[in-house]
Amino acid sequence: MTPTAAAATIVTHATTPFDGQKPGTSGLRKKVVVFAQANYAENFIQSVFDAVQPPQGSTLVIGGDGRYYNRTVIQQAIRMAAAHGYGRVLVGQGGILSTPAASHVIRKYGSKYGASGGLILSASHNPGGPDEDFGIKYNIANGGPAPEGVTEAIYARTQTIDRWQTVDAPDIDLDTIGTVEVGGMAVEVIDPVADYAALMEELFDFPAIRALVASGFTMAFDAMSAVTGPYATEILERRLGFAKGTVRNGTPLEDFGGHHPDPNMVHAHVLFATMFGADAPDFGAASDGDGDRNIILGKGIFITPSDSVAMLAANAHLAPGYARGLSGLARSMPTSAAADHVAKALGIPLYETPTGWKFFGTLLDAGLATICGEESAGTGSDHVREKDGLWAVLLWLNILAVRQQPVAQIAAEHWARFGRNYYARHDYEALPTPQADALIAELTASLPGLPGRAFGPLTVATADSFAYTDPVDGAVSRNQGLRVLFEGGSRVVFRLSGTGTQGATLRVYLERYEPAGGTLDAQTPDMLADLIVAAEALAGIARHTARTAPDVVT
């Protein structure tokens, strides 16, 4: 850059308030056609800058999952940052930064250059393309999603906004690494993978994993044509020595090849077929659009995310980054209690939080928890402030390299020690909101009368509406899901999705606990049959919604 470049003239555009962001949500997620309306993306970015009031000379990290419209919004965000006193923008080459990599870059360069935050452009596992979804969210200097106070301030600003400001400058070359100048501000195009890969090398025993690979261990990783492709290719194939082709669908595409980049049995069915097929590799994994979710499979076995967080926690000390042990574990309330048994055995606290990664942030910042997980394929640790798909894959690989056992055996030994939490989630999607609200209201009213009542072989022990008090900042969150706990540790949880875009989505979480010595190798649907009947009897799902089966089972 030319250090003497004169600050460019700020251009002010008039605008009007908009209702894009719901209060309290971490960012804005809409169809591309909505984002493409005049002033729309600009209004949100301006609302962020007005709410955050970045100190002069701050650093802003920008990157996204590569979906359609990513580049357009990035160019505009760079110009707007120049008009708001930022001293430096760091942007991933090609506009790419996975969500966990963005979190790391914010943390790393925040300490190098001073106060920092980031704009992450993604709609996670939602499809991409001109007719599909786009999203922007703001992360704060700790690398995590903006907390409620900040998102409320952003929302409040969207209600009064009357102008957005930018500088008059051409688009930069996003594909060439190096530093350019926009309106007196430095824009550094960085390698999106390098910093993240270096962090993974610090945490995990790469030589041990390389030796495992050299011994003939094979793997399939499905990047789903989304952001993890470059990360997985660099780390798995180049640094760890897995064969070329181990990473499938490894080139990020603007429309994810027309698929949903959602790693589940439906959208990652090819990977599931591979892992349950005759020539299955030893290990299988996939990540979502922006790289924060993961699924884990072995030959002929799928490890539920709830089990995965428990198994990772029980074995984390085998990885150099966690050899000192864990300070605590945290899981969202609907996530199975598998992690609880591990926490108990390790003698460390277990925090049960409401659904959503943001609730782990205060625990991680305060050093109360080291590993966190959600049943919805999110796992992570205190190395960043987002969930991290490849991190979970690499911790599994580290454990496999040390234990020298197949995934299925690690699972079997885990259950033999801690017992097994059979688990499934049933989703009823696009319900008319009044029907879903009526179901929840009626069930809520019935909760006090449930303890002691029998549903088939199950007897209710306790029933409540989950409320959470953050142990660090004391913030109270109520109505975070209805939970019915049966004697013996089985459970049904009901809650409405906070991220659905069409009507209401009812999620029913079913969990049956079999203690060590019980039935540990049965089929999950068989083990959950009584709970499914009990869930219907408790909530009257068919009566309220006229649905007799869930749309999605995960």
In the list ligand G1P, Zn ion, none, the entry touching 229 (Cβ below 5 to 8 angstroms by class) is: none
Assess contact for 180 and 242: CB atoms under 8 A: no
Strands (E), 53-184: 59-64, 88-96, 116-121, 133-139, 163-167, 178-182
As given in the structure block, the two tokens for residue 105 are: 């870059």
> 30: left (phi > 0), else alpha (psi -120 to 50), else beta?
beta
Nearer to ligand G1P, 250 or 289 (CB): 289
Assess contact for 65 and 289: CB atoms under 8 A: yes
In the list Zn ion, ligand G1P, none, the entry touching 479 (Cβ below 5 to 8 angstroms by class) is: none
Give contact residues for ligand G1P (rule: CB under 6 A): 124, 332, 355-357, 374, 376, 378, 497-500, 507
Q: How many CB atoms lie within 10 A of CB 210?
A: 15
Nearer to Zn ion, 73 or 286 (CB): 286
In the list ligand G1P, Zn ion, none, the entry touching 507 (Cβ below 5 to 8 angstroms by class) is: ligand G1P
> 377: left (phi > 0), else alpha (psi -120 to 50), else beta?
left
Catalytic choice (47, 124, 376, 490) = 124
Q: How many CB atoms lie within 10 A of CB 502?
A: 8
124 catalytic? Reply is yes
Nearest-Å Rg of the Cα atoms of the chain is 24
In the list ligand G1P, Zn ion, none, the entry touching 357 (Cβ below 5 to 8 angstroms by class) is: ligand G1P
Any contact of residue 124 with Zn ion (CB under 5 A)?
Answer: yes
Q: How far is the CB of 330 from ligand G1P (least distance, A)?
A: 13
In the list Zn ion, ligand G1P, none, the entry touching 356 (Cβ below 5 to 8 angstroms by class) is: ligand G1P
**Which among 199-207, 285-293, 429-437, 476-484 is the span making contact with Zn ion, rule CB under 5 A?**
285-293
Give the separation between CA 408 and CA 417, rounded to whole angstroms: 14
Q: How far is the CB of 355 from ligand G1P (least distance, A)?
A: 5
As given in the structure block, the two tokens for residue 59 are: 């650093």
Any contact of residue 290 with Zn ion (CB under 5 A)?
Answer: yes
Any contact of residue 292 with Zn ion (CB under 5 A)?
Answer: yes
Tell me the H-state helices in 424-484: 433-446
Phi, psi of 462 (to 5 degrees): -140, 160
Assess contact for 467 and 359: CB atoms under 8 A: no
Nearer to ligand G1P, 259 or 387 (CB): 387
In the list ligand G1P, Zn ion, none, the entry touching 306 (Cβ below 5 to 8 angstroms by class) is: none
Nearer to ligand G1P, 206 or 509 (CB): 509
Q: How far is the CB of 483 from Zn ion (least distance, A)?
A: 25
SS3 115: coil
Q: How far is the CB of 336 from ligand G1P (least distance, A)?
A: 13
Assess contact for 150 and 68: CB atoms under 8 A: no
Q: How far is the CB of 425 from ligand G1P (least distance, A)?
A: 8
Q: Contacting Zn ion (CB under 5 A), which of 50, 65, 195, 288?
A: 288
Q: Which residue is nearest to Zn ion (CB)?
A: 124
Assess contact for 161 and 18: CB atoms under 8 A: yes
Q: How far is the CB of 48 from Zn ion (least distance, A)?
A: 20
| The one-letter amino acid at 330 | A
As given in the structure block, the two tokens for residue 487 are: 């004697």
In the list Zn ion, ligand G1P, none, the entry touching 336 (Cβ below 5 to 8 angstroms by class) is: none
Assess contact for 374 and 398: CB atoms under 8 A: no
Any contact of residue 132 with Zn ion (CB under 5 A)?
Answer: no
Q: How far is the CB of 315 from ligand G1P (least distance, A)?
A: 23
Indicate which residues carry an active-site annotation. Answer: 124
Binding site for Zn ion (CB under 5 A): 124, 288, 290, 292-293
